[in-house]
């Protein structure tokens, strides 16, 4: 039982207790693509900007707690990313385990995450990893966020609702507490993803997009039952990350319309 109450306590640090919604900012990109804009070196300053906006958690590899622990500013949850690959790998879709749940416990993390690509030739190994990590999370009371993407040789369109539904459901079947996956392009199709997954579903940000587009997608996803967003580049490469996160907070947790949120935080 202790593992389950531990999960509950930690989940309340990364999901709003009242609304059951979350805003997570992944910053794991450095392992995959190197020091891109927004996360070049001073990660702590960016974490602080995100925290000031009202995000629930940042997500990243062990470099985040090692090099970006601030010791100042508002508190924010930490999700330790356990898997990875680099963009220059000959098989970059194969995400291997680079850390473990016990290390996350030692670091004081509030959750762990895994990236799983369904439809690539290495997905059996990644599924095995997901099952193993899920068991460890239950034993140690650690929430598990599964990033589930239909991606690889068997996938023609990774935003097709039929394959996104499968990817999301796989994570729930294997015990994930939160599922991050692709926005399918419209509310009706994404509602199928949410309705077909027992665990809370949040949307990935994908490639860099315009501010209004990101906010509109957020609003549409919340209206059909998503549990929030996990936006990386679209936040940490924004002109004002704090204001953008604040606008997301108003839409996700306070049910603001997009234009109301923009006006409230003087975003544009």
The secondary structure of 104-124 as a DSSP string is HHHTT-SEEEEEEEETBTTHH
What burial letters (b/e) apply to 3-13, b meaning 16+ CB within 10 Å? eeebbeebbeb
pLDDT tens digit string along 214-236?
999 999 999 999 999 999 999 99
As a whole number of angstroms, the distance between CA 86 and CA 125 comes to 17
- Average per-residue pLDDT in the chain? 96
Q: Where are the domains of the chain?
A: 2-265
pLDDT at 1 over 60: no
Structure confidence at residue 2 (pLDDT): 57
Residues annotated as part of the active site: 28, 149, 180
**CATH architecture under which domain 2-265 falls:** Alpha-Beta Barrel (3.20)
The predicted structure's pLDDT at residue 4: 82
Decide if pLDDT at 196 tops 90: yes
Q: How confident is the model at residue 208, as a pLDDT? A: 78
Provide the 8-state DSSP code for 5: H
Distances (CA, A) of 142 to 41, 61, 113, 126, 172: 28, 16, 10, 19, 15
Q: pLDDT confidence of 79, banded at 50, 70, 90? A: very high
């Amino acid at each position: 039982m202790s593992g389950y109450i531990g999960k509950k306590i930690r989940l309340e640090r990364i999901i709003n207790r009242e609304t059951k919604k979350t805003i997570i900012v992944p910053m794991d990109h450095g392992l995959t693509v190197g020091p891109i804009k927004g996360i070049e070196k001073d990660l702590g300053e960016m974490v602080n900007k995100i925290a000031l906006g009202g995000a629930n958690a940042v997500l990243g590899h062990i470099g985040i707690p090692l090099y970006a622990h601030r010791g100042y500013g508002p508190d924010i949850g930490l999700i330790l990313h356990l898997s990875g690959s680099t963009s220059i790998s000959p098989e970059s879709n194969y995400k291997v385990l680079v850390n473990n749940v016990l290390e996350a416990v030692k670091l004081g993390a509030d959750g762990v995450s895994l990236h799983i690509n369904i439809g690539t030739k290495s997905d059996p190994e990644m599924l095995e990893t997901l099952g193993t990590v899920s068991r460890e999370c239950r034993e140690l009371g650690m929430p598990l966020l599964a990033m589930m993407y239909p991606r690889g040789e068997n996938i023609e369109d990774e935003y097709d609702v039929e394959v996104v539904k499968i990817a999301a459901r796989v994570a729930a079947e294997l015990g994930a507490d939160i599922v991050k996956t692709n926005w399918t392009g419209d509310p009706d199709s994404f509602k199928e993803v949410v309705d077909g997954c027992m665990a809370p579903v949040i949307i990935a940000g994908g490639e860099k997009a315009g501010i209004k587009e990101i906010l509109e997608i957020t609003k549409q996803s919340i209206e059909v039952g998503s549990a929030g967003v996990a936006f990386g580049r679209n936040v940490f490469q924004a002109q004002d990350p704090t204001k953008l996160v604040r606008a997301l907070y108003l839409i996700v947790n306070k049910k603001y319309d997009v234009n109301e949120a923009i006006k409230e935080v003087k975003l544009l």
